[in-house]
């Protein structure tokens, strides 16, 4: 009885620090999603930038975040994580101040690169800190709730941003993002992180200090899932217009967020019950169904436009459910492959693999959309990448995880 009582506090998930970490994550992503849908409009309307150049400028953000993540993981495994999280969060928010001051496109490009660096750092630090403050027995569930915070931001951020764009100036939206980020920064101060893991500072520099080598196969599998996701988030609005869907695209992302939130709530608990491999498999198959259906919508136009619109929004929920299962499961997988003093590197490897997939999907999707096959071909290729991810994980990455997992 005494032993059980002693261990009960370790299994408590909803601590004040956990709630603060989720709140700060929501406010960070809310600031991020306030800018996401209006930046292309800002470049086109205020700077008269071509659409192709808009894609190049915005992709620099993802590239910068991708480049900084391995170094972020290395630094976070050496030094205390909360001070680094605070600094990265501050720099992320501070960079927003530059948007109202930009006067030429070259300055905007430079600002996006800097902002990408800070985003890559703050998200890696936040993910690593969250792993530290939650009990290991409820890690999958905790990461699921942590992810719900940014899904909620995705559900309401773009809609609020586009609404503000109709009535207010771009600068008003920039200042709203600064306000959200500043509030999130204040919340970070209330997080208590008492866990101190051994950090082997004197170890020689090696590649595995920046990338979790045991996560290579799982990283490849996750990268393939990121390909269609990058296509989806970047081009689904244009595809919807081509299909004749007149409703706002904010509805699609809101429905997708509903699916993400709903599935995260039960997927994390399944992961904690030892069904991590199954959750990834089921989630991947759900995504496979979603992308195959999305790629075939143009052929359905001959039947009924209303039917196409209904299926289009149904797919948003389906893909939200699929990715909502995948995210906490893969996050937990990478952490479970790493020693305690490599947790930040594990988080960095997880996020780097995802960024590589999303960035590649953005470029590949645009190239395929310009061919005769158009967006149906792009999403069909995305579905094929999802199917390859399922087979690769089933035969190689999953068994490799079972052999090398530490917990």
Q: pLDDT per residue over 54-106, tens digit each?
A: 667 777 888 888 888 888 877 887 888 899 999 999 999 999 999 999 888 88
> How far apart, in Å, are the Cα atoms of 241 and each of 145, 162, 214, 304, 385?
33, 17, 43, 15, 25
As a CATH number, domain 15-194 is: 1.20.1250.20
What does the pLDDT read at residue 147?
78
Q: At what angle do helices 170-188 and 81-95 cross, to 10 degrees?
A: 170
pLDDT mean over 342-353: 81
What does the pLDDT read at residue 127?
84
Residue of higher predicted confidence among 272 and 296: 296
* Residue 200 pLDDT level (bands cut at 50, 70, 90): very low
What does the pLDDT read at residue 7?
42
What does the pLDDT read at residue 1?
43
What does the pLDDT read at residue 194?
58
Residue 174 has pLDDT above 50, yes or no: yes
* Residue 280 pLDDT level (bands cut at 50, 70, 90): very high
DSSP 247: S
Hey, what are 133's tokens?
A: 């403050």
As a whole-number percent, the residues of the chain with pLDDT over 90 amount to 33
Judge if 15-194 and 211-407 fold alike in CATH terms.
yes
| Domain segments of the chain as ranges | 15-194, 211-407
Q: How many angstroms from the chain centroid is the CA of residue 234? A: 14
- DSSP-based three-state secondary structure for 198: coil
* Residue 282 pLDDT level (bands cut at 50, 70, 90): very high
Residue of higher predicted confidence among 335 and 205: 335
What does the pLDDT read at residue 374?
84
What does the pLDDT read at residue 197?
46
Q: pLDDT per residue over 286-333, tens digit each?
A: 999 999 999 988 877 656 777 888 899 999 999 999 998 998 889 889
Q: Rounded to an integer, what distance in angstroms lies between the CA atom of residue 303 and that of residue 114?
A: 48
What does the pLDDT read at residue 39?
81
Q: pLDDT per residue over 10-31, tens digit each?
A: 478 888 999 999 999 999 999 9
- Report phi then psi at 78, rounded to 5: -105, -45
pLDDT mean over 207-236: 83
Hey, what's the torsion of the CAs at 306, 263, 322, 334, to 10 degrees?
160
Residue 385 has pLDDT above 90, yes or no: yes
Are the C-beta atoms of residues 369 and 378 closer than 8 Å to each other? yes
The lowest-confidence range among 135-139, 181-185, 212-216, 226-230 is: 135-139
What does the pLDDT read at residue 249?
64
What does the pLDDT read at residue 203?
54
The lowest-confidence range among 161-165, 170-174, 222-226, 373-377 is: 161-165
Hey, what are 52's tokens?
A: 């192709």
Hey, what are 32's tokens?
A: 């991020």
What does the pLDDT read at residue 72?
82
Other CB atoms within a 10 A radius of the CB of residue 173 amount to 23
DSSP 3-state percent helix, strand, coil across the chain (nearest 5): 85, 0, 15
* Residue 339 pLDDT level (bands cut at 50, 70, 90): confident
What does the pLDDT read at residue 6?
42
Are the C-beta atoms of residues 35 and 160 closer than 8 Å to each other? no
As a whole-number percent, the residues of the chain with pLDDT over 70 amount to 89
* Residue 2 pLDDT level (bands cut at 50, 70, 90): very low
Q: How many angstroms from the chain centroid is the CA of residue 18? A: 19
Hey, what are 378's tokens?
A: 């792009």
Q: Rounded to an integer, what distance in angstroms lies between the CA atom of residue 263 and that of residue 282?
A: 11
The most confident of 55-59, 185-189, 239-243, by mean pLDDT:
185-189
What does the pLDDT read at residue 208?
55
Q: What is the chain's Cα-based Rg?
A: 21
Q: If we measure between CA atoms, which residue out of 30, 45, 298 comes closest to residue 176? A: 30
Q: Rounded to an integer, what distance in angstroms lies between the CA atom of residue 248 and that of residue 101?
A: 30
Q: Which residues make Cβ contacts (< 8 Å) with residue 346, sequence separation at least 6?
A: 73, 212, 215, 334, 335, 337, 338
Q: At what angle do helices 170-188 and 139-167 cross, to 10 degrees?
A: 150
Specify the CATH class of 211-407 in words.
mainly alpha
Mean confidence (pLDDT) of the chain: 83
Residue 207 has pLDDT above 60, yes or no: no
């Amino acid at each position: 009885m005494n032993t059980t009582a002693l261990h009960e506090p370790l299994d408590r998930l909803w601590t004040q620090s956990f709630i603060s970490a989720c709140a700060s994550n929501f406010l960070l992503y809310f600031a991020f999603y306030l800018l996401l849908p209006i930046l292309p409009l800002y470049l086109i309307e205020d700077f008269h930038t071509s659409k192709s150049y808009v894609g190049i400028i915005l992709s620099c953000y993802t590239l910068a975040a991708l480049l900084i993540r391995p170094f972020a993981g290395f630094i976070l495994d050496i030094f205390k994580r909360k001070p680094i999280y605070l600094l990265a969060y501050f720099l992320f928010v501070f960079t927003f101040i530059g948007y109202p001051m930009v006067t030429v496109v070259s300055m905007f490009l430079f600002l996006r690169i800097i902002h990408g660096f800070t985003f890559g750092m703050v998200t890696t630090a936040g993910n690593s800190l969250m792993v530290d403050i939650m009990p290991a027995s409820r890690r999958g569930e905790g990461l699921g709730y942590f992810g719900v915070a940014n899904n909620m931001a995705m559900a309401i951020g773009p809609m609020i941003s586009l609404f503000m764009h109709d009535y207010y100036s771009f600068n008003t939206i920039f200042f709203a993002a600064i306000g959200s980020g500043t509030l999130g920064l204040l919340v970070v101060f209330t997080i208590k992180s008492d866990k101190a893991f051994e950090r082997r500072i004197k170890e020689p520099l090696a590649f595995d200090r920046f990338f979790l080598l045991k996560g290579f196969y799982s990283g490849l599998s996750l990268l393939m899932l990121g390909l269609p996701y990058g296509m989806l988030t970047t081009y689904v609005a244009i595809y919807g217009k081509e299909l004749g869907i007149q409703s706002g695209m904010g509805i699609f992302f809101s429905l997708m967020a509903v699916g993400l939130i709903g599935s995260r709530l039960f997927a994390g608990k399944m992961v904690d019950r030892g069904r991590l491999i199954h959750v990834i498999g089921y989630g991947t198959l759900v995504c496979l169904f979603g992308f195959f259906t999305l790629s075939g919508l143009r052929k359905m136009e001959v039947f009924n436009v209303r039917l196409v619109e209904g299926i289009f929004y149904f797919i948003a929920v389906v893909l939200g459910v699929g990715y909502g299962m995948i995210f906490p499961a893969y996050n937990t997988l990478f952490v479970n492959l790493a020693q305690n003093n490599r947790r930040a590197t594990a988080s960095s490897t997880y996020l780097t693999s995802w960024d590589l997939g999303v960035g590649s999907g953005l470029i590949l999707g645009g190239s395929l959309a310009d061919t005769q096959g158009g967006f149906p071909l792009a999403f069909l290729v995305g579905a094929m990448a999802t199917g390859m991810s399922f087979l690769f994980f089933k035969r190689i990455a999953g068994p490799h995880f079972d052999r090398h997992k530490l917990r």
